[in-house]
Structure formats: structure tokens, C-alpha cells
Amino acid sequence: MKNFLLATSLIFSILLSSACVDKGANSGNTSTGGDTGNIKVGVYVDLTGQTSSFGQSTKNGIQLAVDEINAAGGVSGRKIALVIEDDQGRTEQAKTVVEKLIKQDKVVAVLGEVASSNTLAAAPVAQEAKIPMITPSSTNPKVTQVGDHIFRVCFLDDFQGSSIAKFAANELKGKTAAILGDVNSDYSKGLTEFFEKEFTKLGGRVVAKEAYTQTDPDFKGQLTKIRNLNPDVLYIPGYYGQVGIIAKQARELGMNMPLLGGDGWDSPELWSLGGDALKNSYITNHYSADDPNPVIQNFVKSYKAKFNNVAPDSLAALAYDSAKVLADAIKRAGGTDSAKLREAINATKDFAGVTGTISINAERNAVKPAVVLEVSPATKQLLPKTTIYPEGMTAPTGSTLNSNTTMNTNAMSNANTMNSNMTNSNSNTNSTMNVNK
């Protein structure tokens, strides 16, 4: 009986999720892994649930890329057909829909998920089936360690966490920090660890580490404890749904210190949730839609034209890049044979993406700079402050993202030659700061 119930509910959920198949893109020729006909690519994201703007933006970014590719004749004359599944932001559902995409739809590759915990739940399915998966935006280091078929086109949380710790210590001159993190999220747990490590290394002290879960309605207990310790900065490595409310409650409690976060804050919904409480906040992110770089501005223009004039967040940009990287690999692989396709994705080098140049390294990760953005609730913008480059990477010549505020972490470790020429774009005095003080 139990098995029967399980089987029925599985069939039911497959039927339900099948309803999400993008009928438009998927109509016509249904050929998949062969050498002719449409190329089926699976997408799994959270189109509903707690962080659904992640899924919506990701779906849009992928759709834009695929529409452009198909309008230009497809990949080696074959069109890409997307099969899109909603996993509701739940780990078990992520696993179930990826099973369906691979076994039932026979997709040649999978794009997704966003939240690291969801990708970590589903990646073993793709790895086992030897179907390449590219996550546009899951940043936890463990994701690509699942196996040699799992790739990503974004930076990792060790870099993201240490970048904001450097910003806190060097630019904000913070000596003490508190962290309020999501105890059920691999993403949040990773960032907590990486922030603390770097902040401590730079001479700072983490005076409190408090935890919440995504179902908590109220954060005042944790915030009151933190307030009593009066830290210079408060790091909240979570997702926008809770962050907005935490920011409001913190300000209500009279906590006026800078709030720091990561890419998980990035959502068009952040503004209505956090409002003015988000003033004096800074986050690390993958790109800024306000970067004047023409590559970015062209993308922003096409995206806005297609999606109701909404500016693409970093998820949309990363998703767009992930689909383009996949298409490029299918072209180089000369088809969709999974072993050849895996090799081709693995060999991705100097791919010019919207979020920067993408080269896949030996660990199947992309090594890319991070941007520190100032949260501006008044204009509902994330304004570029600083670009932080990973060790060994320097700012490209002619780089347009606040070129006077680039900070090279490699140079930072070299105290004698350090002169970062960091300008605080927000200060009226236009003062230049030495980040190594």
C-alpha cells in the first residue's frame, strides 16, 4: 500500500511538473540525443516557493539566450528546445525533476539550480547518469565536487565570503562583526565560515554568530543579542526573503551599523521587503546591471525589451551565460554525445560572457571577479563600488566597472607595493583610501 501510494504520488508529481514544459520551445521536432532535430536541454529552478524570483530570473535569462541562438539558426543548424521544471525550491523536488528530465525527457544537459542546497541534492542524479549539469549560480564549493559532470559558471563562496570580509575590514574599517546566518542552507553556512576566516585573518573579531531558518517569522531575539554586543558590521549571508525583514527589524531595534550580504540578496523583491532599512548595506555579487560596459548594456537592453522592462539581476545574467556556454560546447563537441559534450564544457576557455570571461578550471569552476555593490533603496539599485579580483587575475585594460575602484586581492597581500587607489564613489570628498591600512 505504501509503495502504491508512493508510486501514485510520483506519477502525479511527474504529470504535474510536465505541465511546466515550455510548450512553445518544445513543439515541433522532438528528437533529442541523436544527430538531428531539436536539442533538448533541461532546466530546473524554483518558479514557485520562498525564493521564486531566483527561478523566474534564471528561466528568463536562459530563455533569452536560447531565443537568440535559435533566431541565429541554432547550434550547427539544430534548434535548442528547453524543458523547464519547477522544483518549488525544495531539495527533494529538485532531485525528482532532474530524474524526470534525464530519464523521461532524455535531455542532453541540465541547467540549474540556483540555491546551492538544491543543486547539491540533484547533482548526484546527473552525475550518475553521466549527463552534464551546469549551474549558473550555485556558489557553495561542494557543488562541483559531486563529480566530473557538474560545472558552474560563477565564482565560489570562499572567494565571495573573503571578498566581503576584506571590504568590511579594509574599506569600512570594521574591527568587530556579527553574523546572522540560515542554519539550513549550505550557501549560508559556507559564507559564514569563509567570512569569519578572512575577517579574523585581517585582525577583526567575530563577536557573535546567530542562526535562523527560512520559516522564522521574527528575528528580534537573535538581533537583540547582537545589538548588545554592538559590532561594527553585521553580515547576513542569506536569501532576500529573510534579509529584507531582518534589515527592517534590525533598524527598528536601533541597529544602524552597515549590513553586509552576498548574492542571495539579489532580487527585484528585496526593495518591497526591506525598504529604507536597506540603506547602508553592501553585498558581493556577480555583475551590476548599471555597469556601463557595452556588453552588459546590450544584454540589459535585450532583456528589458523581452521581459516587461525589468532590469536583469545577476541570476538572469548568469543564466544567460550558462546557456551560451552550453551552446558553445555543443557546437565544439560536434553534437550531443554526452562524453564529448562533457569534454567540451570542461574545455571552455576565455568565453566572453555578460558576467565576465569564463574559463572552466580543473575543478569545473569558473574563476571570476566579484563586485561589491552598495544597496540603494532610494533608487532601487545595486550600485557598483569595487571589483575584487581573485589571486592571479588583474583588471582587464579598459575595464569600465568603476575602474577607479578596482581592488586586486593579490596586490592586497603585498603590503609594500600596495596602493589600491580605492575611491569611495559615495563620499563627497572623493577621498582615496589605502585598503591596506
**With CB under 6 A as the contact rule, which of the stretches 23-31, 137-145, 162-170, 363-371 interacts with ligand PHE?**
137-145
How far is the C-alpha of 357 from the C-alpha of 349, rounded, in Å? 8
Q: By CB under 6 A, which span of 18-26, 133-141, 340-348, 400-408 interacts with ligand PHE? A: 133-141
122 belongs to the binding site for ligand PHE (CB under 6 A): no
Binding of residue 153 to ligand PHE (CB under 6 A): no
84 vs 120, beta carbon nearer ligand PHE: 120
Judged by CB under 6 A, the residue of 116, 192, 355, 409 near ligand PHE is 116
Strand pairing class (432-433; 422-423) = antiparallel
Q: 213 is written with which cell numbers? A: 531558518
Q: Is 53 in the site for ligand PHE (CB under 6 A)?
A: no
- Mask of contacts with ligand PHE, 185-224, x by CB under 6 A? --x-------------------------------------
Residue 315 interacts with ligand PHE (CB under 6 A): yes or no: yes
Min separation Cβ 138 and ligand PHE, Å: 4
Q: What is the largest CA-CA distance in the chain?
A: 73
Q: In angstroms, what is the minimal distance from the CB of 256 to ligand PHE? A: 26
What's the min distance (Å) between Cβ of 78 and ligand PHE?
30
Residue 383 sits at φ, ψ, to 5 deg, of -95, 130
91 binds ligand PHE (CB under 6 A): no
Rg (CA), the chain: 22
Q: Which stretch binds ligand PHE (CB under 6 A): 63-71, 132-140, 204-212, 382-390?
A: 132-140
Among 69, 80, 97, 114, binds ligand PHE (CB under 6 A): 114
Strands 381-389 and 259-261, how do they pair? unpaired
Q: Considering the complex, what minimum distance in angstroms separates the CB of residue 263 from ligand PHE?
A: 4
Half-sphere exposure of 364 (CA within 13 A, CB side): 24
With b for 16 or more beta-carbon neighbours within 10 A and e for fewer, the 149-187 pattern comes to bbbbbbbbbbbbbbbbbbbbbbbbebbbbbbbbbeebbb
Stretch that binds ligand PHE, among 11-19, 41-49, 202-210, 259-267 (CB under 6 A): 259-267
CB 129 within 8 A of CB 136: no
Task: Please tell me the count of residues contacting ligand PHE according to CB under 6 A.
Answer: 14
Regarding 60 and contact with ligand PHE (CB under 6 A), the answer is: no
Site for ligand PHE in 266-305 (CB under 6 A): 266
Residues 6+ apart with CB under 8 A from 186: 116, 117, 120, 140, 142
What angle in degrees, to the nearest 10, is found between the helix axes of 52-71 and 294-306?
100
**Of the candidate residues 139, 144, 355, 365, the single one contacting ligand PHE (CB under 6 A):** 139
3-class DSSP assignment, residue 96: helix
Distance (Å, rounded) from C-alpha 137 to C-alpha 139? 6
Least Cβ distance, residue 122 to ligand PHE (angstroms): 13
Binding flag, residue 96, ligand PHE (CB under 6 A): no
Cα–Cα dist 394/392, whole Å: 7
User: Do 227 and 255 meet the contact criterion of CB atoms below 8 Å apart?
Assistant: yes
Report if residue 155 touches ligand PHE, rule: CB under 6 A: no
By CB under 6 A, name the binding residues for ligand PHE.
54, 114-116, 137-140, 187, 263-264, 266, 314-315
